[in-house]
Structure 1
């Protein structure tokens, strides 16, 4: 494959990483907001399990000191593309500027853990409800 192809793949991984972050952060915002507004879809068990799994993965990686697989994949693809920095690519530069900043690793571990605690608290504040099988359920007595 050509270096340009690796660069495109690296950008795709970066965008996927960005969307994952938006999904986890925005997911909690929507769950809490939707919980207060009584939106039924924010209590769907599959959604809540996917959201919990996403932040649990981030917290676990952080506590174990493991590099994010998406970051590792992106860096590997950039290396194959012959890129040393992100300055030459508009998409990569701006998405990385928004998503990453410099701080000691313990700061990120504390932030990820605190966010994970908020996600767990959202399960208590707005518990998920299992999907109803309306066609299989009998109507309540007296209906």
Structure 2
């Protein structure tokens, strides 16, 4: 793999990562706001994906593990000869949206609290299976 391709793939992974963060955060907001307005927020497959993803994120934090997307992106950046979170536009701005400089315990607490909210939403705004 060429360094240019590795850099491009690393940027693509960062965009995917930001998309997943947006899905989790805005998805939770959509469940609360749209519980009586938007039928799609009760879709079983969508809700199952949402809750499982958030539980996975919180579990990673409890185990002290980095997200696999972060590990993969950093490996691609090294292969491209870049330092992690170097100077490309996508990398520079999108990484600042989802990465913060804070103690690890604060991430564990935040992810755990958010996972608790997502699980609570599962019961307070229960998903519905499509009836054929």
**Which structure 2 residue ranges, 5 or more long, are not aligned?**
none
**Which structure 1 residue ranges, 5 or more long, are not aligned?**
134-143
What's the Cα RMSD here? 1.0
TM-score, normalised to structure 2's length? 0.96
Deviations 1:58-111 (A, max 9, x none): 011011111110000000000000002434211100001111110000000000
Structure 1 residue 2, shift from structure 2 partner = 1.6
Whether the 8 Å CA contact 2:78–2:84 is kept in 1: the answer is no
Q: Counterpart in 1 of 2:42?
A: 43
State the SS of the aligned residue for 2:46: helix
Q: Counterpart in 1 of 2:104?
A: 105
Q: How does 1:49-68 map to 2 (within 5 A)?
A: 49-68=48-67
1:123 corresponds to 2:122: yes
Q: Counterpart in 1 of 2:26?
A: 26
CA distance in 2, matches of 1:85, 1:39: 40
TM-score, normalised to structure 1's length? 0.88
Deviations 1:25-67 (A, max 9, x none): 11101111110x3322111111110001110110110111111
CA distance in 1, matches of 2:46, 2:86: 37
Q: Determine which structure has more spread, i.e. the larger CA radius of gyration.
A: 1
Of 85-94 and 2-11, the range deviating more from structure 2 = 85-94
State the number of aligned residues: 132
Q: Counterpart in 2 of 1:17?
A: 17
Whether the 8 Å CA contact 2:74–2:84 is kept in 1: the answer is no
